């Protein structure tokens, strides 16, 4: 049984040893099963970039970016072309954002955010509370003083980026390999520190998805995986705000794609959280492993996106292992093609019939924007009079998503009034916020006409409403004054 001792996280200033992790290599049969599910797409239907291909199934495909490399033309060209989600490699971590207590700096983080949003790309925040890469002043604290410093840091950083980011990795790498809590300085403030971090984050920015992020939680039977799973299950049962779990998915040395990887994803998703692959890299960019992890995500509806940790092999924290999808010269590798083919194979066939009452939407940016002033949706057969406020309910990732975009650019509801808003209980009322015309729109219109929530926000762009404000949504009762259209 292979073992390895990886560093805690890419982008760390030095290598850090951890207890040997128990890893189960993917069996040939498991990889074969993944591969058998992939079908080569029709060339006319296939998207030509990773981000575009992922978006066709309502997902993202992202990368980690370092601000210091953005002046590299090859690097920035690939990143801007291929990906539709960006994570700051180090620039939003505690030591970068609050090097001195009470003195926040966002210059490098904002450089990445501005670069991404100017290109229409979304941004994930990484990370708010972590035992590593703490500034020196924070490392010197303990107990209640450290707890207060953590709260102040979360509030300060999230206030700066409020309403702008798709998600935050609120807490990073808080578990040991056996599933117990890591004995960090943050753990020393009390076992409830993770819960406090998530509650603080929700209060600081209700519109952003809140994630727990960790490595070595890909194998369903592994102790660490079970420890994280049990924490999230407890949080969901007690109403602690958590929207997603990030699996770093570093497959290194003796580790490889576990045969039960999809079971892990679906088991987390069944708790009512979204699942993301946040820091993907694979030794020697194994084509079968990249294709397998991509297909596993595509097979789980609440696996909403994949992020590779770096652009080219030469940019990777594991550069000597050539673990990414582009080589040092910026050329696409065989693994790139395997991932692109898997993403394109998941795209709904444009020639297949759309659901009753809808049609394939016209080409556009994928944003739903309010036309003129109205904020209206058409709720067929509703008993309300025209203009009555509509109650919208969460379908919680189930198959009964019922919002479609009709050929007349109306949003209609079939039966129940449901949207998939991750983080709410099935049937619970959904709070929907206006994005105010910003780039971080959170609802995608899929090729089959359905509308699904993406990453953080439960946001629609409603003209005339301030960014982050709760929307007043009214029933148009079948009238002609529908106010939402596809841009």
Of the residues 89, 91, 173, 218, which is catalytic?
173
Task: Please answer whether residues 109 and 97 qualify as being in contact, where contact means their C-beta atoms are separated by less than 8 angstroms.
Answer: yes
Instruction: Select from 431, 456, 429 the least CA-distant residue to 442.
Output: 456
> Quick one: which of 482, 459, 461, 346 has its CA closest to 411?
482
CA distance linking residue 154 with residue 298, whole number of Å: 32
Q: Which of 203, 225, 222, 206 is nearest to 214 (CA)?
A: 225
Distance CA 205, CA 155 (A): 9
- Cα–Cα dist 158/173, whole Å: 20
Residue that has been written with the tokens 């929700």 in this structure = 202
Q: Kindly state the tokens that stand for 166.
A: 């798709």
- DSSP character string of 436-454: TT-S---EEEPTTSBEEE-
Q: Angle of helix 334-345 relative to helix 287-298, nearest 10 degrees?
A: 20
Contact 417, 392 (CB under 8 A): yes
The two three-digit tokens of residue 101, written as one number: 């207590």
Residue 173 annotated among the catalytic residues of the structure: yes
Distance CA 484, CA 408 (A): 10
Which sign does the torsion angle of CA 159, 308, 397, 172 carry? negative
Three-state SS at 475:
strand
Instruction: Please report, in angstroms and rounded to a whole number, the separation of the first and last CA atoms in the chain.
Output: 53
Choose, from 82, 195, 218, 279, the residue flagged as catalytic.
Answer: 279
Beta strands in 301-361 (DSSP E): 303-308
CB-based contact 468:442 (threshold 8 Å): no
Tokens at 396, concatenated: 């919680």
Report in angstroms the alpha-carbon separations of 201 from 19, 273, 474.
30, 16, 30
Dihedrals phi, psi of 236, to nearest 5 degrees? -65, -40
Bond prior to 371 in cis (omega within 30° of 0):
no
Distance, CA of 426 to CA of 418 (rounded, Å): 9
91 is catalytic: no
Report whether 90 contacts 96 (CB < 8 A).
yes
DSSP string covering 366-381: S-EEE-TT--EEB-TT
> 73 near 107, Cβ under 8 Å?
no
List the catalytic residues: 173, 279
């Amino acid at each position: 049984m292979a073992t390895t001792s990886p560093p805690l996280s890419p982008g760390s200033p030095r290598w850090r040893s951890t207890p040997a992790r128990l890893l189960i290599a993917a069996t040939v049969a498991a990889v074969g099963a993944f591969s058998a599910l992939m079908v080569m797409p029709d060339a006319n239907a296939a998207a030509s970039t990773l981000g575009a291909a992922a978006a066709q199934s309502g997902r993202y495909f992202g990368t980690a970016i370092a601000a210091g490399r953005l002046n590299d033309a090859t690097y920035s060209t690939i990143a801007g072309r291929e990906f539709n989600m960006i994570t700051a490699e180090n620039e939003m971590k505690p030591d970068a954002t609050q090097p001195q207590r009470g003195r926040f700096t966002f210059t490098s983080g904002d450089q990445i955010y501005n670069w991404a949003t100017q290109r229409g790309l979304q941004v994930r925040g990484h990370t708010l509370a972590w035992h590593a890469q703490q500034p020196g002043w924070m490392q010197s604290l303990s107990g209640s003083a450290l707890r207060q410093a953590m709260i102040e840091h979360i509030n300060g950083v999230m206030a700066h980026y409020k309403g702008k980011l798709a998600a935050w990795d609120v807490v990073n790498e808080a578990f040991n390999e056996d599933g117990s809590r890591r004995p960090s300085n943050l753990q020393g403030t009390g076992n409830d520190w993770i819960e406090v971090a998530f509650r603080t984050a929700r209060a600081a920015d209700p519109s952003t998805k809140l994630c727990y992020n960790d490595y070595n939680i890909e194998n369903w039977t592994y102790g660490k995986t079970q420890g994280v799973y049990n924490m999230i299950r407890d949080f969901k049962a007690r109403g602690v705000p958590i929207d997603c779990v990030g699996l770093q998915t570093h497959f290194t040395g003796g580790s490889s794609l576990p045969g039960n990887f999809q079971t892990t994803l679906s088991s987390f998703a069944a708790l009512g959280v979204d699942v993301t692959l946040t820091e993907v890299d694979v030794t020697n960019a194994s084509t079968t492993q990249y294709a397998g992890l991509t297909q596993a995500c595509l097979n789980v509806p609440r696996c909403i996106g994949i992020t590779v940790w770096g652009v080219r092999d030469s940019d990777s924290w594991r550069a000597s292992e050539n673990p990414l999808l582009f080589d040092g010269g910026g050329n696409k590798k065989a693994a790139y093609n395997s991932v692109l083919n898997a993403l394109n194979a998941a795209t709904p066939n444009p020639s297949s019939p759309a659901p009753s009452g809808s049609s394939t939407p016209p080409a556009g940016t994928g944003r739903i924007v309010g036309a003129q002033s109205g904020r209206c949706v058409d709720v067929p057969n509703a008993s309300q009079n025209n203009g009555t406020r509509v109650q919208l309910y969460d379908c919680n990732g189930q198959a009964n998503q019922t919002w479609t975009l009709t050929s007349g650019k109306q949003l209609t509801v079939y039966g129940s009034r449901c949207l998939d808003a991750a983080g709410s209980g099935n049937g619970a009322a959904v709070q929907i916020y206006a994005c105010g015309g910003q780039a971080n729109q959170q609802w995608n219109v899929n090729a089959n006409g359905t509308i699904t929530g993406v990453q953080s926000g439960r946001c629609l762009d409603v003209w005339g409403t301030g960014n982050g404000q709760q929307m007043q949504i009214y029933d148009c009762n079948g009238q002609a004054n529908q106010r939402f259209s596809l841009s």
